[in-house]
Structure 1
Amino acid sequence: MKKSIKVMSFIMAAAMVMVGFSACGSDEGSSSKAADESKASSAASAASTADGSKAASGEQIKISCITMDSLDEHWLKLQAGAKAAAEKAGNVDIRFDAPSNKIDSTQQASLVENAINDKVDGIMLAALDSTALSNVVDKAHEAGIKVVLVDSGVDTENWDAFYSTDNAKAAQTAADTMAELVGSKGKIGIVNAQAGAGTTQIREQSFIQQIKDKYPEMETLSPVYSDGDKQKALAAANDYMNGNSDLAGIYGCNEGATVGVGQAVEQAKKADSIMVVGFDFSKDVEAMIESGAIKATMVQNPKVMGQKGVEAIVKLMNGETLSSKEEDTGVTVATKDNLEQVVADQSY
């Protein structure tokens, strides 16, 4: 009897051990399954991040917009376009910076360095100097920051998009406009902005080349650089007028140069004999087109540049591909005849 009880006890103990092993195996299976699910979830999360879904997730996208200055209406319009696009996106935190003057490319490069150190997601840059800003654009690219150029380019290909006026084409149009105004003959002065800015260099060189190629009776005088400063441009225009009694016209390569030239011609009361063709649009330019001191100006679309710049960074952060890397944002020739419509289009 005792022997029978011992056998039964052994059988029951063995059964309990088997149940324990079975339960343990079940727990291990559940843990293994949970671990696999966790790994899969982590992998999916990593893949989502790799695809650049920060914008889609609603996280803040930090953008630094660095222009040539913060005063000219051109840059204020660009800022307005960028702000509108940021507000529409809803999850964009955009900061605007510019050097304290229009010629300090070293300070502008420092602003880009600051943006890199702040670990922004995107940088919108209007480079003061195409060469001086190249290194910091390379650094931003290496740091994985999206770089969108607006208005002016740099001497490197390490950027993601470029929205600007086709400055060569616009300068050719400016030359044709000047030729029509002066009867395709005479001396033409050129007042440029910064000597190193790629944009205004193109406007200068393409204007000169168009005159040379198409108008043999026209002569372009040596360009003068005003740093985009209205008073310097005014002085340069006066020098042209004082040194060339047969001066037929003066071409201004940006807003500051155009306004300064217009003021000089107006003050000298020579608006009927010296034709002024410029670049960019502002309230000052508008007033001098009205008065006749400026006959025509090439009007860019800086609001579109700012808008498309922000939109491009948001798309890139969302893992989307841009339809094109470079885009011409267009130009309109403003004269007294279409001034009202240009003013309406340029409001901000």
Structure 2
Amino acid sequence: MKKALLFLVLAMLLSICTTAIAADSYTIALITMDSMDQHWLKVKAGAEEAVAELVAAGNDVKLVFDAPSTKVDSVVQASMVENQITNKADAIMVAPMDAEALAPAIEAVYDAGIPMILIDTLANTKKFQVIYQTDNGAAARTAAQELGKLLGGKGKIAIINAQAGSQTTMTREGDFRDEMAKAFPDIEIVGVQYCDGDKQKALNYAEDFMMQTPDLAGFYACNEGSTVGTGNAVDQAGKAGTIKVVGFDFSDEVKDLVERGVIQATMVQNPWVMGNEGVKAAWKLINGEKIADEEAFVVDTGVTVATKENLKDIK
């Protein structure tokens, strides 16, 4: 009887110890718009390094990465967020591809008491602790200044944008338009097309613009895919340098187009910082620390204008 009681006590102690160990294990989920663009892979790399530092410091924490297999599936992305609530992730980081469609899932995370960190793009909700993103309005105004000066303040241009529902890319378009109208009233924007961040679609749209407007003087492209596709279209048309291109984001393909003078300038974000700082914020929130006194706190991760002249300094 005494032995049976002893075994029971030991079993209970073992169960308590196991539960305590499990309680010290943490999962941070990162859900981006896709896993194809280098921009999102850099976000992931920054997050992975931050997690590696936490592990090296003796913490039991892992990163779970997920993203839709296509660039325009907000339904799938929302379900990925909801799955992480079910999986009891300790913190969730999301780059919402559609500001309206992702809002309910983001609010569900927040309402469940799980730290909610936004990356790159806002959603139509204030139910999150912090967002790490580029000041897209300022970057778009800078892009307008770059293209306006390249064109000497006159000419016809077209815009190749990514997702029509994304807060980030619509801000890049809207603030670009406003700045261009204010600073360069003699520059005419002949139209805009949305390529969903797909570089082949962007190439096709850019070709159409060049055919429809023979005297087209420039393009503004709003993300990596649209920038690569637009640059390739101009290059293949033999109009590199003649038609000016100002884009957004930085990848190996964008770098090559800048080096060869096809793209004159591109707005370089800091996606690695977004991912890295996002994990650090998640860890603080998991441990009961505050990021700021108010919720929905915005952190600008900065932007650099890359040109052929300073390309060697861009990482």
TM-score scaled to structure 1, two decimals? 0.81
Tell me, yes or no, if structure 1 residue 179 matches structure 2 residue 148.
yes
Q: CA deviation at 1:283?
A: 0.3
1:337 paired residue number: 309
Partner of 1:29: none
Partner of 1:23: none
* Cα distance between partner residues in 1 of 2:53 and 2:298: 23
Match of 2:239 in 1: 270
In the alignment, what sits opposite 2:82? Answer: 113
Q: Once the 2 structures are TM-superposed, how far is the Cα of residue 332 of structure 1 from its aligned partner?
A: 0.3
Counterpart residue number, 1:326:
298
Q: Is the 8 A contact 1:175 1:211 kept in 2?
A: yes
Alignment of 1:25-44 (within 5 A): none
Residue identity in the other structure for 2:36: L
2:274 maps to 305
Spell out, residue by residue over 1:251-310, the C-alpha distance to the aligned partner (whole angstroms, 9 max, x if none): 110000000000000001111210000000000000111111111100000000001100
For residues 222-270 of structure 1, the C-alpha deviation after alignment (integer angstroms, 9 at most, x for no partner) is 2100011111000110111111122110011000000000000000111
Match of 1:68 in 2: 33
2:53 aligns to what? 88
Letter in 2 for 1:296: A
Distance 1:222 1:176 in 2: 19
1:230 equivalent in alignment to 2:230: no
Aligned partner letter, 1:87: A
> 1:105 corresponds to which letter in structure 2?
S
CA deviation string 1:51-74 (max 9, x = no partner)? xxx9xx992221110000011100
SS of 2:33 mapped into structure 1: coil
Q: Which amino acid aligns with 1:89?
A: L
| Residue type at the aligned position of 1:234 | L
CA distance in 2, matches of 1:221, 1:205: 15
Distance 2:125 2:31 in 1: 17
Q: What is the RMSD computed on CA atoms of the aligned residues?
A: 1.3
CA distance in structure 2 between the partners assigned to 1:272 and 1:156 by the alignment:
42
Q: In 2, distance between residues paired with 1:111 and 1:187?
A: 42
Question: Which has the larger helix fraction?
Answer: 1
Q: 1:58 to 1:135 in 2, by over 3 A?
A: closer
Equivalent residue of 1:177, what SS? Answer: helix
Structure 1 stretch 133-142 or stretch 316-325: which is displaced more? 316-325
- Preserved CA contact (<8 Å) 1:61 1:314: no
Letter in 1 for 2:282: I
TM-aligned CA deviation for residue 329 of structure 1: 0.1
Distance 1:152 1:339 in 2: 26
**Counterpart AA for 1:229:** D
Q: Judge which range, 165-174 or 236-245, deviates more.
A: 236-245
Structure 2 counterpart of 1:41: none
Partner of 2:17: none
Contact 1:65 1:95 (8 Å CA) reproduced: yes
Looking at structure 1, the residues matched to 182 and 241 of structure 2 have their Cα atoms a distance apart, in angstroms, of: 27
Equivalent pairs counted in the alignment come to 288
Q: CA deviation at 1:102?
A: 0.5
Aligned equivalents of 1:185, 1:219: Cα separation in 2 = 8
Q: CA deviation at 1:221?
A: 2.1
Q: Does the residue aligned with 1:221 lie in a helix, a strand or coil? A: strand
Match status 1:284 vs 2:253: yes
Q: Which 4+ residue blocks in structure 1 deviate beyond 6 angstroms? A: none
Letter in 2 for 1:208: R
Structure 1 counterpart of 2:96: 127
Determine the structure 1 residue equivalent to 2:115: 146
Q: CA deviation at 1:326?
A: 1.2
